[in-house]
Chain A
Amino acid sequence: MGPGVGSDVVGTSPTAVTSASQGCGLEAGHWRRAAGRVAAYLAALGVQEPREVELLWGKVRLRVEARAAVVPLENPVEAAIEETHGLLDLWIASELGLEGDANTLCAARAVVLGGGVPGWSARWAGLSEHSLAPEIRALCVNAVPEPAPLTMEPNPIDLFMHRLGARLAAMIRCILGRPGDPDAAARGHP
């Protein structure tokens, strides 16, 4: 489980992907099924320019083929969606120079998909040289401020006549010369 950021597949070079797909191969029928869904998913993400869609679609295909070369795909459509998601995360991580900072990655993903960063899809597709890191960082909002903890322990409230029987027994034991642990008695322990 979990997004594929930093996974083996993500780190695979295009050349390796090509050779892997040639070696194992992603069945054409499988990819056809997945391709339409990837296009729909890209549209839902906000990628609308045909050129961008085409480029990203190609990248996703390479990733899916590489994955199929490593392990047979149980559900090519699911694999394709996961790889699209992974590709987006990989781009965000690389754009912001993130390494393993899942919170910032998630916040940045929300910013990008929230529509506050014009031109992000072109940059993701590799059609723009302009870094969007400053814009994305500026729009990243923490839902909570930095922790500023205070200690807040439960305060004791001694109820009236609470465990009176146990306390009386402890007193009687004391009087009889068998003191034991009065507090333990009061708590009801032997």
Chain B
Amino acid sequence: MTASTGARNLLRHLHKPVYFSLVILTTLGAMSLLSAAIQDKGTTPLELLLLILYVILMLWINASFWTAAIGFVRLLRRPDDLGPPPAEHTPEAETGTPFKTALVMPVYNEDPERVFAGLRAIWSSLVETGRHEGFEIFILSDTRDPNIWVKEEMHWRRWVEELGQPVRLFYRNRVENTARKSGNLADFCRGWGGRYRYMIVLDADSIMTGATLVEMVRRMEADRRLALIQVPPVPVNRHSLFARMIQFAGSLYGRMFAAGLAFWQQDTGNFWGHNAIIRVRPFADHCGLPKLPGREPFGGDILSHDFVEAALLARAGWKVRLADDLGGSYEEIPPTLIDYAKRDRRWCQGNLQHARLVLAQGFQTLSRIHFAMGVMSYLASPLWLLFLVATGIEAYFKSLERPVYFFGDNVLPVWPQTYTVEMTTVLVATLAMLFLPKVMALFLLAVKPRLGRLFGGVPRATLSVLIESLFSVLLAPVLMLFQSKFVAAILLRTAVGWPAQRRGDHQTGFAEALGAHGSHTLIALVAGALAYVYVPSFFWWFTPVLAGLALSIPVSMITSRTSLGILARRAGLFLTPEESAEPPVLRRLDQNLASPSSLPCCEIDEQELWSRAAADPYAYALHASLLPDETPSRRRRHYLEGLIFQLQDDGTGSLSPAEKRALLSHRDGLYELHTLLWAGAEPPATTGSRAGSEGAT
């Protein structure tokens, strides 16, 4: 070991102590300022509550601030290249033994057009690297919707025919979607995990460049104790004003946060569920997830499986890293505030479930911190709400106090002691912690001109940051109330479900906005009136929160507008490097989406695709070929026959999606359905035979 390597290793050991010392010291400093201000005439229980809440919230804010600050320093010293470094070695060169990497994409009722357009873009990018032969794509479908299921199969078949031999594109639809996504991945490992050394997990909206995929494999090969590399995904491809602001913030500040996280996480990083490479065998050995004891929402299947899988790998002694220096990793985000909140609702339950794991036996300290931070990312909202309410009550009580200038034997008036300086310092310090990362990000753009240009230039980026900050202030109280509601629902043991995500651009109408934000507006009016009447001095401090809530309906509608997002883009606002210089892989995705493949029998009413697919001989034959060869039990056969009778008597509208799926799930039932449709009073209208038209040529 050289002296420089030894020094580097020594420094690496200091990363965690440095970070956590900074977080704790600044929190203690803020606490001392506030406690000095509220200890006048002793501390009341309410003041004690305020102090405790403030410390918890400041700890959370400081953790974010120092992560960003450290990331800022690291990025200052790094060249402003956003892409992945060129892969220098082939994977085979590292080990001498050939191996395969699976690109696995678990999907659940996603739009097949988008899924396959994305995969095609990734594959094209991979082919351009010339290293694609070591990769295979595996679509792990948990789709329950029978129409989408059929469409996925048609897309798969079309593409597999185009790719030719050897087959590198696989598809399977799980019979039962036990344990959701984690169960889907586990099912893959149990069935085909031995075929692959690595798997790269993609979400339905993930996009990764071929160069990044190859580099991820190279890094895994270079370190045999490395089990997982997470590449931070950059949000792209949305056009609404809301989404473009989030994309801008994610791209500009996200890089700093990722660099900071990588600094203190080191080899005990986290898994974010997708855009990550995983060594398959240790994953299979250590990441089988148990059901948590008790009932939902805290018991049962582990919903946010990714954090737990990373913690289990770390517990078993494997390294988990965040590759903050790798670009070429993208994802899409919810297009509107309401969709964003819906996604939060799904994630919230999973993250709160981690509260039970924070102190579970055997996990590494950093894994516990990841769990705690995940919990805190949702618990912070109700704590802020409680803090605001407690502050209002405290202000009300203070307003009732009448100053006494003469008491005892004092001849001269005794002026009440003021703590304006301390309170102002507390406020300024808190705001600085919240807003300084934005300033640091702008500073990075100023000192790195190439990067600055990709964000539209420093002046436009500064204006974008200002507008984004204004909207953040308006949106924060709305998200606070949303998340507080979700947390309350979960604590009251109301399961919040796990609905499929609505991903495409769409706009919020008045009715939808009123339904989602009506209560927010009402709360703003009532709280504002109470504050104005009873604590007028507090009212003005409270106005930023009140304004956000009172304006939530128009803000939600306005920010959902794609026209405004596009207008802002034309004005050079909220520009991201991915918009300024669109990477080829994203351009290819756009092209694929702009020219969707026409599939046989899929150009008709998509709601009835399942029955058309059962009628169309080719679609029927294809679907049957992808079903498992199993004979249904007698009970099952009777059930399927009952469904067919129902279909005959009452029409397709009488069947639920689950019943339609059941009919399509067994070859026997499908055969019955196929012949039944062809034996009906009128022959089914098919879209013409592929076999005839192409076979004749």
A3 to chain B, nearest CB (A): 6
Is B692 within 8 A of A152, CB to CB? no
Of B287, B312, B675, B691, the contact of A114 (CB 8 Å cutoff): B691
Q: CB distance B695 to A45 under 8 Å? A: no
Q: Mark B307-351, 1 if CB is under 8 A from A, else 0.
A: 010001000000000000000000000000000000000000000
Task: Name the A residues within 8 Å of B640 (CB-CB).
Answer: 1
A160 near B359: Cβ-Cβ < 8 Å: yes
**A115 in complex: contacting residue of B194, B290, B358, B693, CB < 8 Å:** B693
Query: In the complex the two chains form, is A2's CB within 8 Å of B671's CB?
Result: yes
Contact of A155 among B288, B356, B668 (CB under 8 A): B288
Contact digits for A64-86, partner B, Cβ 8 Å, 1 yes 0 no: 00000000000101100110010
Q: Complex Cα distance A78/B286, Å?
A: 53
Nearest chain B residue, comparing its CB with the CB of A117: B695
Choose, from A12-20, A22-30, A54-62, A99-107, the stretch at the interface.
A99-107
- What are the residues of chain B within 8 A of A47 when measuring CB–CB? 692
| A115 pairs with B195, CB closer than 8 A | no
The CA of A103 and the CA of B630, in the complex, are separated in Å by 10
B565-619 with Cβ < 8 A to chain A: 616-618
Query: Does A190 reach chain B (CB closer than 8 Å)?
Result: no
Q: Which chain A residues border B195 with CB–CB below 8 Å?
A: 145-146, 148
A146 to B140, CA, bound (A): 16
Task: Please indicate the chain B residues that have their CB under 8 angstroms from the CB of A119 in the complex.
Answer: 695
Interface centre among A103, A106, A146, A155 (most CB of B within 10 A): A155
Given contacts A150-B189, A155-B287, are A3 and B361 in contact (CB under 8 A)?
no
* Min distance, Cβ B162 to any Cβ of chain A, angstroms: 12
Q: Is B171 on the interface with A (CB-CB < 8 A)?
A: yes
The reply to whether the CB of B637 lies closer than 8 angstroms to some CB of chain A is: yes
Q: Does chain B have a CB within 8 A of A147?
A: yes
A115 to B622, CA, bound (A): 12
Whole-angstrom distance between the alpha carbons of A138 and B165 in the complex?
A: 9
A151-167 vs B, CB cutoff 8 Å, 1 = contact: the mask equals 11111111111100000
Contact A151–B689 (Cβ < 8 Å): no
Which stretch in B125-133, B255-263, B461-469, B678-686 binds the other chain?
B678-686
Determine whether B497 belongs to the interface, using a CB cutoff of 8 Å to chain A. Answer: no
- Across the interface, do B190 and A150 meet the contact criterion of CB distance under 8 Å? yes
Judge whether A121 and B691 touch: CB under 8 Å.
Answer: yes
| CA–CA, A142 and B160, complex, Å | 10
Map CB proximity to A onto B113-151 as digits: 1 under 8 Å, 0 otherwise. Answer: 000000000000000000000001000000000000000
| Least CB separation from B186: chain A residue | A152
- What bracket does the count of chain A residues touching chain B fall in? 35 or more
Pick the residue among B289, B622, B691 that contacts A46 (CB under 8 A).
B691
B284 CB-CB contact with A under 8 Å: yes
Cβ–Cβ contact A155 & B290, under 8 A: yes
Q: Decide: B689 and A143 in contact? CB cutoff 8 A.
A: no
- A156 to B281 Cα, complex, angstroms: 18
Asked if A1 and B359 make an inter-chain contact with CB atoms under 8 angstroms apart, the answer reads no
| Set of chain B residues within 8 Å of A155, measured between Cβ atoms | 286-290, 312
How far is A120 from B171 in the complex, measured between Cα atoms in Å?
A: 27
Contact of B692 among A40, A48, A110, A154 (CB under 8 A): A48
* Measured CA separation A119–B637 after assembly (Å): 37
Starting from the known contacts A146-B195, A148-B191, A160-B361, 13 additional A-B residue pairs (CB-CB under 8 Å) come to A37-B678, A37-B683, A41-B617, A78-B676, A103-B629, A114-B157, A116-B694, A120-B691, A143-B171, A144-B172, A154-B291, A159-B360, A160-B359
Identify the B interface with A (CB < 8 A): 136, 156-157, 160-161, 165, 167, 170-172, 186, 189-196, 280-281, 284-293, 308, 312, 356-362, 616-618, 621-622, 624-627, 629, 637, 640-641, 667-669, 671-672, 674-676, 678-679, 683, 686, 689-697
Interface residues of A (CB under 8 A from B): 1-3, 37, 40-41, 43-48, 75, 77-78, 81-82, 85, 102-103, 106-107, 109-110, 112-121, 138, 141-162
